[in-house]
Amino acid sequence: MSQPHFLLVTFPAQGHINPTLQFAKHLIRIGVRVTFITCISARRRMTKVPTAQGLTFLPFSDGYDDGFQPGDDIEHYLSELRRRGKEAISEFITSSEYEGKPVTCIVYTLFIHWASEVARKHHIPAALLWIQPATVFDIYYFYFNGYESTIKVPVDETNPKRSIKLPGLPLLATRDLPSFVTASNVYRWALSLFQEQMDILADESNPKILVNTFDALEQEALNAIENFNMVGIGPLIPSSFLNSNDSLDNSLRTDLFQSDSKDYIQWLDSKPKSAVVYVSFGSIAVLTKQQVEEIARALISSRRPFLWVVRNWKDGVEEEKEEDKLTWREELERFGMVVPWCSQVEVLSHPSLGCFVTHCGWNSTLESMVAGVPVVAFPQWTDQGTNAKLIEDVWGNGVRVSANEEGMVERDEIVRCLDLVMGDDEKGMEVKKNVEKWEGLAREASMEGGSMDMNLKAFVDDVAQGCWK
């Protein structure tokens, strides 16, 4: 039997590329040849290009080689990404066939559903790699399959905490839903992409959805949709979280943002165990100046050492725009450290970490779980509200901030949440107990013979034996 050759196609964003690279790592380890395709814009921003035996990295031009910029037409961008991407994939499939290395499966991520059209044209099986929780996939599915009115019913002023019941899922409030659903007028472009994705899957005789989650974490959500085969192949996180010196993991790690200094590691080394508050809102979310000021005041009020990632933070004040300057900068630097970027693997794995204030991006959520770090959930948009709901009410490994009527999370609320997860009272001890539980289960899923390993091997075997199309 010839070596399986998988083509992985991903959207050019850090939150899409990183889990897909981890997926590639596991495929390579079990003997699969992998070609990784994304856009030139992502390649240009990478601190290093992923390299490994068994991996070919293939960037293509989507017409936006300097990246999507504010003010660009999102619909035109997505149209060009689709047109040029389909051409690039088709050409590669043809050339690979000619070279005697035929593509045996195409795996694609969110917003790249058109890759399945190319797969169908070339009679190649395709699978979706869902890089958000299974619960979020289910919500989108039900939204487009009979539950739109249930989900979109406006909040009744007499019952602001109305519950939304969907099959196989916990009771949800409006704030627990993905923002693309609750603000459908604002995100029409995104919602239409999700609908196209669901329509494509519905047309397949045996749709396969690989989910970056694990069986113990979302058992019910993975089985909530009768028509679809959803398989947990996560957590797709760097092996560094598992205390593993993995050369393949190191060669496949990349970053679209850079930090010029590693001083923060020495700073963390100087702090007591479980004492530091780590604050990061990921690679996309942009907070208002007022919200940043509230976080700053909360961190100063808490009197705890903190490491805060502020992406537009500059070492020299003269480089900052006037509107970006923090009123509380001098006080902040007395209590903690503010950096423009850092290695989240290193930070979350550090023994001084006591809490993670996070936007609840799915990668960050899984990484904090495997690292065994309590969470203060501070969601911003897309799937993050759902992730925060799961963290607080289902898994119990953190607490969620509540915004005021203007949508602002105030200083006292942030301090309250920090005190809850880092304190030694009943709530703090309950969170720590749940953190320990999920850390163990996540690590168990990641080990050889765990659910990730078993499910991934079964998937590759199905492709190799031709019993899944």
Rg (CA), the chain: 22
Q: Encoding tokens for residue 431?
A: 């969170």
Residue of 29, 5, 10, 31 lying closest to 92 (CA atoms): 5
Question: How far apart are the C-alpha atoms of 355 and 208, rounded to whole Å?
Answer: 36
DSSP strand pairing (337-339 vs 306-309): parallel
Q: What b/e string do you get for 238-265 counting C-beta neighbours within 10 Å, with b at 16 or more?
A: bbbbbeeeeebbebbbbbbeeeeeeebe
Asked if 45 and 256 count as a contact pair (C-beta separation under 8 A), the reply is yes
Structure tokens given for 165 = 């019941």
Which residue shows structure tokens 């700073």? Answer: 267
> So which residues are the catalytic ones?
16
